[in-house]
Amino acid sequence: MFLLSTWVLALDVFVLCLFLTIIKWKRFLVTTLFGYQHPYPPGPPSRSWIWGNYADLSAGNQVNVYAEWFKQYGDVVHFRTFNEHFILVSSREAATEIFEKRSNNYSSRTFPKMAELMGWHFLTGFKPYGERWRAERRLLQQHFKPEAIPRYFEIMEQKINVMLRQLLTDPDRFRDHIRNLSGAIIMSTVYDYELSPHGDAYVKIAEESLERLGEATFAGAMLVNSLPFLRHLPGWLPGCGFHRYAQNTKVMTDQMLNDPLTLVEKRMASGIAHPCIAAELLVNPVSPIQYIDIKNVCGTSYAAGADTTVSATSTFFYAMANHYDVQLKAQAEIDDLIGRDRLPCLEDRAALPYAEALYREILRWQPVVPLSIFHASRDDDIYKGYYIPKGATVIPNIRAMSRDSTRYVDPESFNPSRFIKDNGTLNDDDVNYTFGFGRRICPGRHFASATLWLSIVRVLYLFDIRRKKDVFGNEIPVNSGYTPSLVTHPLPFECSITPRSHSAHMMLFEAITEKFSDFKM
């Protein structure tokens, strides 16, 4: 009897959710049945009238699928999963027109239902356009605008020097050192929190929860994103196992959001707080809503900074292991400028054009977020005669833009010289598109850029990166491939990291970093 009543209750809930979903689908049904005076952009045929192209995307291989659609249908593509419309934008020209010139209509976000269930509601970058987003964006810009970045140079140098010492003593764990570096810089900057040098809990939390976020946000990744009524059904029903996955993730995201800020508040109450972004934002009395904004901004900085720089720095090591000629050219430029009296610093950036070109090529060759974060159309729009409906999810295909053969000769190759003009100066392609577009461009891009560039030039100044060799002296091929996630990473690979031959460099390095020998990450 109990089992029967449970099923009846579940059926009632399902019918109610289905009714609400049909109401939500009203606009879709009318458009589909009766048409619209302008067609949708070209795109792949729907596999089904009901679920559209959902089956094309459920395997999690969106980057490759979108690349094929770009070749077949053009730079603006339409597809659908259930009643959700998606617009794929794969050229910089179309992205500039849509996300920048029409920013009033395309500056909002679609927030996947699964991401909400997992506790990612605090991410400023995922918030829809509105008052709360503007308030949080102002706080982020206040602390990460170009003029503010020099304040953080000392922290960056300290943490990078610690990573260099770790590469010297334990080079085989370079991936762990990279992860610690990114987490150490952002956690010190935002919370004045010093990471443990041997696997800090906050680094692990960020890494795993962000990996789960990537799995949940792609189009077609989770059925509940397309059928939100599923969130009201119990987890024991078939197809509702996402509930447990979301709850487990929410434990981690709650820790990311709350625990570090609580530590700052306790230190402030004890009168022992050191300067950091969180302390500066909390130094004056704030309203409850302002406190939430501050918590969200700090949590967003932690989440974004702890993983994105890891991706780009890992790509640097991967590229150098495979392109020793590029490495030698960059090292020669750095040596000519720096000599043997000091380490490279951020003030040298303008005088090292090839190092800057190398930095740009790393971002272009393997974009950190290959599909960016999705935008949303706030109203119906017409683009080149094609209809983009209100509420559509609009995807900047950064990966396709980085492979534009009309702009980049042999785009699959790793070649920093593509950014150098014949007279030896840099061209005007700063690859800023890899950080997003319009009003939703990444506010932390200047901070991330400084961190990545300084890491690159200091590693090159002190170390050689090559392929490892087997016992017979043969080079071991570097494992290729990248993870199919929101923030992409090279698959695990090995490389040889050794001090450069001129001992003066290492003597200088040891002298400079001696004062950091007891410095914690």
Which residues fall in the annotated binding site for heme? 442
CA distances (Å), origin 520, targets 84, 162, 221: 48, 8, 39
d(CA 139, CA 345): 28
* Sole residue written with tokens 């100044």: 461
* Sole residue written with tokens 């009524």: 229
Q: Are 357 and 426 in contact (CB under 8 A)?
A: yes
Residues paired with residue 412 on neighbouring β-strands, in sequence order: none
d(CA 447, CA 453): 10
Among 472, 471, 489, smallest CA distance to 480 is for 489
Among 172, 159, 160, smallest CA distance to 498 is for 172
Q: Parallel, antiparallel, or unpaired for β 463-466 and 496-499?
A: antiparallel
Residues paired with residue 426 on neighbouring β-strands, in sequence order: 420
Q: Are 128 and 109 in contact (CB under 8 A)?
A: yes
Binding-site positions read 442
The pair of three-digit structure tokens given for residue 136, joined into one six-digit string: 């949080």
How far is residue 17 CA from its own chain's centroid?
Answer: 34
The pair of three-digit structure tokens given for residue 308, joined into one six-digit string: 């994105």
With left for phi above 0 and alpha for psi between -120 and 50, is residue 269 left, alpha or beta? Answer: alpha
d(CA 463, CA 474): 21
d(CA 148, CA 495): 36
Q: What is the phi/psi pair of residue 376, to 5°?
A: -140, 140
The pair of three-digit structure tokens given for residue 125, joined into one six-digit string: 């970058």
Q: Are 446 and 145 in contact (CB under 8 A)?
A: yes
Tally the C-alpha atoms within 13 A of residue 510's C-alpha that lie toward its C-beta: 8
For 226-241, letters b (16+ CB in 10 Å) and e give bbbbbbebeeeeeebe
